[in-house]
Amino acid sequence: MGLVQIPACLVATWLSRVFGRKLSMISNFIILGLTMFVLIFTPRNHWTALTFGIIGLWAVNVTFNIVYVWVSELFPTPLRNMAYGMGSCGAKAGAMTAPFIANLGPHWMPSLIFSTMSLLGVISCLVLPETKGKKLEDNLDHTK
């Protein structure tokens, strides 16, 4: 499963350069949400569960790589370090709680929670601006 992360990193770089951060994030959140939703109706030890699990892992890795770039571009220089730290803190909190959610019963409950969180991620991304090709803000003053 760890080998999925290597090509996912390369694909994330390509996607964010070609399609931008916003579209890449939204599309991968949708892929993740759909795979988790399908897992609700898939038997636990069936080969399709493994297939959709790998697709979901792929989408999570691509999303994770893009979000680190996007967070650092969304905020002006004085806040960038703090925003990057808060984003990293949120990612670590999610990584700590995910194993507990994954072990919830019945078997469809974790997939329902993860697909719902993915949908919330899509909604959150809709209100954020695209940063591809834009100059990074250097200060907090937007009146100039």
Asked whether residue 134 is domain-assigned, the answer is no
Tell me how far apart the alpha carbons of residues 131 and 129 are, in angstroms, rounded to a whole number.
6
Whole-number pLDDT of residue 63:
92
Q: Which DSSP string corresponds to 16-33?
A: HHHT-HHHHHHHHHHHHH
Q: Output the six-digit token pair for 49.
A: 């569960």
Whole-number pLDDT of residue 142:
62
Domain count, the chain: 1
Asked whether residue 30 is domain-assigned, the answer is yes
pLDDT < 50: residue spans in the chain: none
Host domain of residue 30: 2-126
Asked whether residue 133 is domain-assigned, the answer is no
Q: Output the six-digit token pair for 83.
A: 């925003």
Asked whether residue 29 is domain-assigned, the answer is yes
Whole-number pLDDT of residue 122:
95
Q: What is this structure's pTM?
A: 0.87
Asked whether residue 138 is domain-assigned, the answer is no
Asked whether residue 89 is domain-assigned, the answer is yes
Which has the closest alpha carbon to 71: 93, 92, 88, 95? 88
Whole-number pLDDT of residue 90:
87
Which has the closest alpha carbon to 49: 58, 36, 65? 36
CATH number, domain containing residue 66 = 1.20.1250.20
Asked whether residue 102 is domain-assigned, the answer is yes
On whether the CB atoms of residues 63 and 23 are closer than 8 A, the answer is: no
Tell me how far apart the alpha carbons of residues 75 and 61 are, in angstroms, rounded to a whole number.
23
First to last CA, the chain: 49
On whether the CB atoms of residues 65 and 9 are closer than 8 A, the answer is: yes
Asked whether residue 140 is domain-assigned, the answer is no
Q: Which amino acid is at 48?
A: T
